[in-house]
Structure 1
């Protein structure tokens, strides 16, 4: 299965190719996507992305994980979370969200087993 392209990104809105839903924050992986609901894991801008936010995607067999920190990069990504991903044997890349989407789409377009979590506001 291939990773779906992110069709569009703007403040508070993301569209994934092949999906009818519009997301505020989203998770994508080879073969799928869904809303990223921070309430599921108690995530907030600080301390930021938690390993629990990423487990679902890591279980999908991704080799690369892209994290979008928001349009103004307010969402934090603790070093402990990055270490967790690397311990799973997955390469991790962290960018401002628009740059993260560009990187994700580039990797997906080359057929990489890439997943991502993207915050589309602050």
Structure 2
């Protein structure tokens, strides 16, 4: 199963190919995507992305995770989150969201089992 392409991205809106939902923040993995609801894990801009935010994506058997920190990179990514991914043998890229989406799409096009979490505002 391949990772779906991020079809479009603009402030506060993301579309994933093959999905009719317009996301504000989203999670993607080989074969699917869904809304990334920060309330599920108590995530805020600081301290930022928690390992719990990534567990679902990790369980999909990804080899690489791309984290989009927002258009202005306001979303933090603590070292503990990067360490969690590395301990699970997963490569991690932490980038501004537009760059993250482009990198994610490039990896997906190469057939990499890539997943990601993307914040589409600040």
- TM range, normalised to the smaller chain? over 0.9
- Paired residue total: 122
Is 1:18–2:46 an aligned residue pair? no
- Within 5 Å, give how 1:11-50 maps onto structure 2: 11-50=11-50
- SS of the residue corresponding to residue 104 of structure 2 reads helix
- Within 5 Å, give how 1:39-118 maps onto structure 2: 39-118=39-118
TM-score after normalising by structure 1: 1.00
CA distance in 1, matches of 2:101, 2:49: 17
Q: For residues 75-121 of structure 1, give each alpha carbon's deviation from its aligned partner in whole angstroms, at most 9, with x where no partner exists.
A: 00000100001000000000000000000000000100000000000
TM-score after normalising by structure 2: 1.00
Q: Which runs of 4+ in 1 moved over 4 A?
A: none
- SS of the residue corresponding to residue 7 of structure 1 reads strand
Task: Report the CA distance between 1:8 and its aligned residue.
Answer: 0.2
CA distance in 2, matches of 1:93, 1:99: 10
CA distance in 2, matches of 1:53, 1:69: 13
Task: Report the CA distance between 1:31 and its aligned residue.
Answer: 0.1
Q: CA RMSD in A?
A: 0.2
Task: Report the CA distance between 1:50 and its aligned residue.
Answer: 0.1
